[in-house]
Chains A and B, each alone.
Chain A
Amino acid sequence: MAKEITGTTWTVYDANTMTQAEIYGSVLCELGEKHPDIVGLTADLGKSTKIGLFGDKFPDRFFNVGIAEQNMFGIAAGLAKSGLLPFVSTMAAFTAMRGLEQVRTDICYQNLNVKMIATHGGVSFGAAGTTHHCTEDIAIMRALANMTVIVPADGIETAAAVRACIDYKGPVYIRIGRGFEPTFYKDENYGFKIGKAVTIQDGTDITLICCGVTVLQAAEAAKILKESDGLSVRVINMHTLKPLDEEVILKALTETRRIITFEDHNIHGGLGSAVADVIAQSGKGCAFEKVGIPDCYCVVGYPEDLYCHYKLDCDSIVEKVREVMGRDFEEDESWEDEV
């Protein structure tokens, strides 16, 4: 049989796996039963984002506005004002950038209860090129007052985040990938809570703070580093970028004194910057590095290749940790470390 595979989130490589977006689509269907106030919106990406699953189940509560993102976020604001609970889904680039002023002024300014599930975040739609990459959204969304920003590690955590935001008032931005990201969690029973980071593995030598696809890579790297280098690596899944779990960062700062952040995002304004703010304001010294897309428009390619290229894969993380462990930051003679 000749093989044909169609659809924007499908490639020949992974068509059989359940994607992050599919999990979210089916969770939303399940929630739709219990919550008649949930309405769904998309802009000609019902199939690609999988919010179309909700649309198939609840056609009356679903609005595909065509290719018109600004209009969509405005309509979502109106629906929320009328008392409904809109879930809006399009790609991250078209949420955080095309629809931005509506998101900010119509939704966040009025503190409306609109949940945005942005797919194809970071460079997860790598081969599509810069117009479909979104390495700016965390920075943009963090800067919007009232906004909550979540970057789940995988499909399971996406499901947990979607569930959690039902009873969590106000605008929420959930950023997911294109759908082929390998799963990290086995199930949802690990106590996901908005604003509370998950320490995946405890450690005393160094802390890796991650979000999204980098969580799995860092967790793998930590195992390797334990076995081959005898290092005790702490790995934190900072799934909520805002409000930020500052406590977990301060704890890592005093207990491990070395922190590296890893994110599929521009190094400016994302997870690394958020963590850096906390470290700087603590007044404590720390070896710190942020790894992400180095302030450039990403090259073209499949995401796995891009993650290696930008040093977000397991092997690169191992290397980075060795490098930072080798740095003797306390031997700077011009500065006496007091902690």
Chain B
Amino acid sequence: MPITELEIKNLTETARKIRHDIIDTTVWAGGAHIGGGLSMVEIMTLLYFKYLNIDPAKPDWEERDRVVLSKGHGGAGYAPVLANRGFFDRDELKDFNHFMSKFGMHLDSLKVKGVDVSTGSLGHGLSMAVGLALGARLQKKSWKTYCILGDGECNEGSVWEAAMAAAHFKVTNLITFVDRNRLMIDGKTEEIMSVEPFADKWRAFGFIVKEVNGHDYKALSDAIDFALEEAKTPVIIIADTIKGKGVDFMENQVKWHYGSIDSELAEKAHSSVDRG
């Protein structure tokens, strides 16, 4: 269903709350992968607050849509989304990274409600997502699988093995995103290990490619609607994003892949989110 102005307004407010929670989680955790957590906020907010057929009261409900955060280091960005969606109390995030916490930097599906698949080692997620999608198809289930990749992650050969399989098995109940923020740990993706021509690569592997602004709900939503309603081959949504989005001093800064902030810096970050 096409997204409405009201939905966009509400999603924007929710995303703002999530960004604030990501900043707080980074402080509580003593350090977090904040840059890549912030870049995927619109994608995750749109999925969790518009598209996903899920019930936070029944996290193991068999008919639920599945999500695979293949860029598993986005855990500190993901957990606040789940908290805001009602899978657990926001206060639980105060334990993030702490001794015996259910939340480590990379979320554990056996410990954190709402997390379908444990990830963190890059390049595993798309394969598991293909498996989930094939499983749904085989069992005549209508639920969908969504997978979120990092662009640096696409250096891993296993991503392309999974892509080949998705196209070969004509997996159309899977919707894949790449958080194309153009940065990895050691620098820019194009300087460390170039992935371009990126869209062409996915096309060559049999995907329909939608290149959209990853912070624009309308563009993201149109691409998802297309994948859900019309696509006859797998779809990849290459979401052009800004690493650190929403916190001005972190935007497009490679050093904010992972970082620690004290309360003073957190204040600056919060006010940047409020202005944005």
Contact = CB atoms under 8 A, between A and B. Distances in A.
Are A and B associated in one complex? yes
Interface in B70-87: 72, 75
B234 interface: no
Specify which of B30, B99, B119, B257 lies most central, judged by the most chain A CB atoms within 10 Å of its CB: B99
Given A48-B185, A68-B193, A128-B104, A4 B123 contact: no
B101 to A, nearest CB: 5
Contacts of B97: 127, 300-302
A7 interface: yes
Given A47-B186, A67-B193, A301-B100, A132 B153 contact: no
B264 interface: yes
Given A67-B153, A67-B155, A13 B30 contact: yes
Contact of B99 (A2, A66, A302): A302
Interface in A17-34: none
Contacts of A40: none
A47 B121 CA distance: 18
Nearest to A15: B260
Contacts of A105: none
Given A44-B184, A131-B118, A70 B106 contact: no
A302 B30 CA distance: 10
Contacts of B155: 43-44, 65-68
A3 interface: yes
A98 interface: yes
B162 to A, nearest CB: 14
A93 B105 CA distance: 15
Contacts of A44: 152, 155, 184-186, 192-193
Chain A interface size range: 35 or more
Interface string B245-260: 0000000000111111
A35 interface: no
Nearest to B151: A67
B257 to A, nearest CB: 7
A301 B99 contact: yes
A12 B186 contact: no
A71 interface: yes
A93 to B, nearest CB: 7
A6 B258 contact: yes
B223 interface: no
A45 interface: yes
Interface in A119-158: 127-132
A306 B101 CA distance: 12
A68 B155 CA distance: 6
B29 interface: yes
B274 interface: no
Of all A-B residue pairs in the complex, the 8 with the closest CB atoms, nearest first, are A66-B193, A131-B120, A129-B104, A66-B155, A301-B99, A6-B259, A300-B104, A127-B97
17 contacts: A2-B264, A2-B265, A3-B260, A6-B255, A6-B256, A12-B260, A12-B262, A44-B186, A44-B192, A65-B193, A70-B157, A93-B121, A127-B30, A127-B105, A129-B107, A300-B102, A301-B100
Given A2-B261, A129-B120, 6 more contacts: A3-B262, A7-B255, A47-B186, A48-B185, A128-B106, A300-B103
